[in-house]
Structure 1
């Protein structure tokens, strides 16, 4: 083997703890500190990281560099400490590593950091005895105490505290102390040890959250109790003015909420958005019940003028809705945009909540700032059961919004034919027009809802009613290419040759839009092929060969004129 091969062999032997092979290679003159591999580790790194004590001794005896650093600036001591090989750590310290016990790697960590993080108690003790800096800051400005507390290694925590660790050390930007981290993870024994050592129970991090905030949001109720017993401020507010009670209520942590309330948590304190814990507790009816029992204001409004009943309704929490109503929640309150609770329930199609609100006295025709009513929202969504409940409660089917649309307009536009039938049965005006002079039939025809069109026609909708620009439902259905709807309208007596304000017939529309199936249906119903500029001219100009063919087959006028032939040629060229 050449030199580099022997060095690789030495690294492999050291990694595997093959002491005899290591000694053999060393006797052959291989450099005991030769670096190898991607990270340029020495044989001592390999042996130390794997706790091969005899191999480490052999390498040290051969003069291996005890303070060598790999590409991550880690020394053999870093690796041995990380794995908790305390015999190896002691050997390295004795061999001179102690002089660099506080040397940092590229993550700014000393050997004490990984030893503390992994709870290697004996290793920590050995490093501390060698004068390791107990308060050195590493990655994210964490001290060894931060790391041990975060992982709940309470024996290691005690050792670090005994060695003089700063119990209230704060991370740089985050400003979290060891107590914050222990509380977040619910390490009860560690929390107790830190408190006994004088940890500030009300210290705030960069978000102004205390350890109690963190324990509450994670539902560590044993830790919450310990912090409260130690004097934690139960009503301290974070940067969003939220107390620990807010965070526990939002997550539905019932036991923690109860503990905080028992300790004097203010159930009506408002945050930055003027929300109370009751607003946030909507998903958990036990928490809601506890809050109400503690005196929560059931009708308090946030900055959007929403009461706690709003989030409960929006998320369909029926038990919470029932509890709030029983506690006296105002069922007719409206938010800043004029939306009522009945609007929210109707929009979701939550007929159970709709029925509960109606039974509690909700105004069935309450109008929002857009002058819409709950019936509109249910109609546009096609929530049939909700529609039935609203109609049974006397909802007015004739109410019009700012655009003069009724619920029937909205249901027809979306093609909810069951809803359309229910509204018609309740007395909806089938020919009522909106601000653009459109009756419900217009919207159904335009969107190709032929079942809805049939229902409206059966209820007396005017099949030839004219809107703006003298456009009829047939014009609209043809324009959009809804040939089934076209057939329904023609069967109901629609005028096949009706003209708009420009003199164009449905056949012109079909030709211009290249809806060949509509052309065929219209021609079958004797559509006039020769009105105004002929459909043949339009089809030729637009380059619609199928439509041209259908019109020629039907004997359209103008087939022999020069300009038509020219337009056909030009149009076909464009098409191809």
Structure 2
């Protein structure tokens, strides 16, 4: 075993070389089989050199990685305890980030073992890595944006793993990483960002466009598909222009993207904020474009095909037509003949878009048709896409008390479903519109009174806005 005094001498010289930056001196003190152990774990992967390194080349790489982005500002050996061939060192260090200027200071302990050959064979560190984690994350969001622009998907995934914010905006453009990747047409990067928590619904700060708008403008179909499959709203409207993704796909002459969006149910009867309907805008595009007009003509064929398909589907929707007309006998016959009870109306940018017959019947007050549809197995909890409302919302919102009474007894009904736009339950809606009888029916059926809407209001809060304080429904809600 190496004597204590000799171990002290070797270790003291080692840290003098570390402090002065004498890498040759450091390497000369190490055995070829050196184990350089830095405390890496799943929480500090942002610090690039925290792992177990073996051999002198490993030590060199560990120091190289450490100095890529940081520099030692202060270093002090504060204590040294030696027992034979082992040394325990307490060091202080202050390091700074080269790019952000952030600096952190901390103490750390090292255990060093010297072999009979008077070379160091084991060098293990022990410290709280939290200060360094903060240091290395100080520019991580900028590095993420740089990796996105460079198309380095592996680097993007690594930075997201290490804590980069996928929704932090670029300072110069106001774009999120997802919007940047979408605009560049990089489907792989988009998928990595979405997997890392990027907001598919976020908009840019200048025009209010979504990542889907950006992808459509680029024309990369794979990127468009990745966003839609992640839940992007196909008909999201840019507040500055009123453009939907479909409008942009037509404007930028990407017929493949036009076809895909039409297949996803994109609306064809919407308008811009500057006075054109989509169709009028497209006619304008056809008239003013000379180059690339063949792509517009290809898109025009797709639009006409979609129009034809919609007309065919509407013609087939006999059950919906009978429901909308309030024709109970025809509804009964169609159901007996096997009509699809939950068939949804095509998107025509109208009042019945993607509604089921039950949603329309409960909204329009057709009690007997509601009874027939429920008996035929209609989905009592079906929702429509505009407000995210279910049949109970439709019934109480319009004050249809008998329909409400029928729905609350339907097997599997969700009495407390909260709508997507405002978080209101059917009970909220009944009170909001002053239909206390519908509210009583819901309460008798066991509707909850503690749920809050997006405005923070309980049903009691809504009722107090609508009814006199001595109204019986107020008393009942307070008792509940």
Greater share of residues in strand: 2
TM (norm. structure 2) is: 0.36
Larger relative contact order (CA 8 Å, sep ≥ 6): 2
Q: Which structure shows the higher helix fraction?
A: 1
